[in-house]
Amino acid sequence: MSEVVLSTGGTGGHIYPAVATAFELLSRGHQVTLLGQRGGMEERIAAEQSLNFFGVQAGKLARSGQGRADPRELLRAGSGLVEARRWLSRTRPAVVVGFGGFASLPGVLAAQSLGLPTVLHEQNARLGLTQRLAVRLARAVGTAYPVVAGLSGRKAVLVGMPVREERLERTEALTRLNLDPQRLTLFIMGGSQGSLALNNVLPEVLRATFPGGGSVHGPIQVLHACGPRWISNVAPRVADLEWYSVEGYVDAVAAWSAADIAVTRAGTGALAEAAFYGVPTLMVPLPESSENHQLFNARAVAAADAGQVIEQPSVSAQMGGAVLECLEPQRRRAMQSAALARSPAGATGRLTDLVLAHARREAT
C-alpha cells in the first residue's frame, strides 16, 4: 500500500477529478491525501467526502493590467511551496498528482524539488499555465483530449476526464434531493462557484416558460445549484414557485442521476458528467474562458447531438424554447443516447493506472 498525494484546488473543475481519483485509489488499497489551498473549497469538499487533506498557502498567478504578477500572490505561492515541501519531505509519498489550477502548484513544484515522481492531469485542449510550469519534470500527463496544445506527444497519455462513476436510481436520487418523482427535472449547474449570468437570467426565463410548473410535455421542476455566495440573491426570487428549488451546493451524483435535462457552462468537467449520466445539456459557454475554449467544447457536444449551444447574450431570448424542445420525448431520448455515447466511463481507472505506473516502486 502506497501514499499518493493529489494536488488540486481553486475550482470544482480541478477538484472533482481529484476526488474521483482519490476514491479509485482508496478502492485499490492505497492511502490518499488531497493537498490544496488552506481554507479553499477543496478543504471543504475533502471534509464532506471524508478525505485526508493538507492545506498550504496558494497564490494566483494571474497577470495585472501591466502584465506583471501581483507580488503579494507570488509571496503566497512561495510560502505555500515551502509549506508543501516541508510536509512532503516528511511523508515521502510514492507519487504526487497535479490537477491544475493555482492551488495545485505548491504541491507539484515542491514534490519535483524533492525528486518525487509527479504526474499531471490536463482537462483542457490547451495546457494551462500551472501545468506548463510543472510539465518539464513531470513523468507523464494524462489528458482529456487527444491533442493538447503546448504538450508534446512524448509525455501525453489520453485517459479522459475522471468523474465519480456512481449512479443512483432516479427515484432514489429524487428522494435524496426532496424532489417530486412525477415531474421532469431540469438541473441548472453554473460550476462550483455558481454563474452570476445564469443566476440573473434563468429564474425569470423559466418562470415565463413554465407557468404553474407545467408544460406540454408534463409537469416540470427545477433544481438550481446557484453557488453558495449567490443563494441569498436567487432564492427569494423564486420563493413563490413550489417547483423551483435553489441550493448553493448539491450532491452531484444525486443531481445528475435525477436530471432529465441540464443547463450548464461548457467546462470539460461538467460535460464529462453530463455524458456519463446521459443527460442532454443546454450549454452556455463562459465568454471569458481562455481562448474561448468552452465554446469549442460546447460545439463538439452539439455536433454529437448530445446538447445545444446557447451563447450568453442569447440566453433570455432562446433558453425557454430550447428547454421545451429538449423536453420533447423523442428528442430527449435521442439526445440521451448521444450523450451516453460520449461517456468517459473508465477515465478514472485509466488515470489511476497511469499514476501508479509512475509511483516509486519502493513505496508500494
Binding-site residues sit at 11-13, 124, 164, 192, 294
| Cα separation values, 127 from 19, 46, 140, 174, 300, Å | 21, 26, 13, 38, 19
| Cβ–Cβ < 8 Å for 306, 274 | yes
Residue found under cell 431520448: 333
E strand map for the chain: 3-7, 31-37, 52-56, 95-98, 118-122, 140-143, 156-158, 184-189, 220-225, 244-247, 261-264, 281-283, 307-309
| CA separation for the pair 323, 152 (Å, rounded) | 41
**Rg of the chain (C-alpha set):** 21
Angle between helices 268-277 and 293-303 (to 10 degrees): 20
Q: What angle do CA 137, 270, 345 make, to 5 degrees?
A: 75
| CA separation for the pair 323, 101 (Å, rounded) | 33
| CA separation for the pair 284, 237 (Å, rounded) | 22
Q: Hey, CA dihedral for 19, 357, 94, 37, is it positive or negative?
A: negative
Binding residue ranges for UDP-N-acetyl-alpha-D-glucosamine: 11-13, 124, 164, 192, 294
| CA separation for the pair 294, 307 (Å, rounded) | 14
Residue 221 DSSP SS3: strand
- The CB density around residue 358, as the number of other CB atoms within 10 Å, is 15
H/E run at residue 204 = helix 196-209
